[in-house]
Structure 1
Amino acid sequence: MTALLFDLTFLVAAPFWALMVLAPKWSWTKRIAESYLIVLPPALIYVVLLVPELTTVLPLVTRPEIGPLADYLATPAGTALVWAHMLAWDLFVGRWMYLEGRRLDVHPLVMAPVLVITILLAPVGLPLFLIVRKVCDTTNRGAAVVTGQ
């Protein structure tokens, strides 16, 4: 069951990434990406994986120590759990990046590599996008989105 959920996690996230990277200007892509619901499939898989492991995971995240955490992550359950966590979070961040890119009219040939890097290495993709966003947001509209002014 764990291996199946591990495989399924990628399969439920990949179509959304494909739309944002390969069909960014298609009207349905924006409609779909505007919904927070796109992160639910990998998030639900995470919950399904987490519930039977909760008594093991809770001490690892409330009192993290590298040895016990590494031991747990080396198990199939630990690997599947962290994979679902990563894909759900990366999709949430990628969705925001896609929507911001569309709002700022960032060219798809700029956004596509940034999104692909985010799929593969999200902690690299996010700061890269923040640089792109700063360069493309010439009127500082990003601040208006946050402050509402």
Structure 2
Amino acid sequence: MPAFWFSLLNALILPFWLLLIVAPRWRFTQRIVHGAGVFLVLGVVYAVCLFKNGLVPLTDLESGMRAFQEPWLFLAGWTHYLSFDLMVGAWVSRDALRHGVSHWFVVPSLLLVLNLGPLGLLVYLAIRLALKKRWSLAEV
């Protein structure tokens, strides 16, 4: 059953990324991707997966490695990645629009955020620094 949910979550998250990549200014994108709905759903899935096996203390590397051998706990971790990577991608998209960063520079960053999370954010911030001389994460 976790394998089914893993595949389903991966398939369901892609349209949100596609909207960020091909239509960042579209009102529908603004409402759907930047709204709370998708994150509420992912949060519920995360909670269900997490409690399906029972909470496991992650006090050291070995306990974390053992926990992620359990399919439901791995799926909880994967849902965590999907949720937070999308949140970072949505922020990158909003920030680029706010600061006038060309979407041609944003798309590679979004693809990196989707696949490599923090590395994509780092690349975007470096691009923004080079183009706009801004490094701050402030929303102002």
Q: TM-score, normalised by structure 2?
A: 0.85
Structure 1 stretch 120-129 or stretch 39-48: which is displaced more?
39-48
Give the distance between the partners of 2:65 and 2:136, measured in 1 at CA.
42
Matches within 5 A, 1:58-137: 59-60=57-58, 64-137=59-132
Residue 54 of structure 1: SS of its match in structure 2?
coil
**Cα deviation, residue 110, structure 1:** 0.8
The superposition leaves residues 106-139 of structure 1 with CA deviations (integer Å, 9 ceiling, x where unpaired) of: 2121111100000000110111111223234358
Aligned-partner SS, 2:117: helix
CA shift at 1:21, angstroms? 0.9
Distance 2:27 2:138 in 1: 26
Cα offset for 1:69? 1.4
**Unaligned 5+ runs, structure 1:** none
TM-score by length of 1: 0.80
Give RMSD over aligned pairs: 2.3
Can you list the C-alpha shifts for 1:16-72, whole angstroms capped at 9, x where unaligned?
A: 1010012223332233333133322322211111122333x2x12xxx211121122
Which structure ranks higher in relative contact order (CA pairs < 8 Å, sequence separation ≥ 6)? 1
Which protein is richer in helix relative to its size?
Answer: 1
Number of residue pairs matched? 140
The ranges of structure 1 where at least 4 consecutive aligned residues each deviate by more than 6 angstroms after the TM superposition are: 139-142
Q: Is contact 2:101–2:131 with CA below 8 Å preserved after alignment?
A: yes
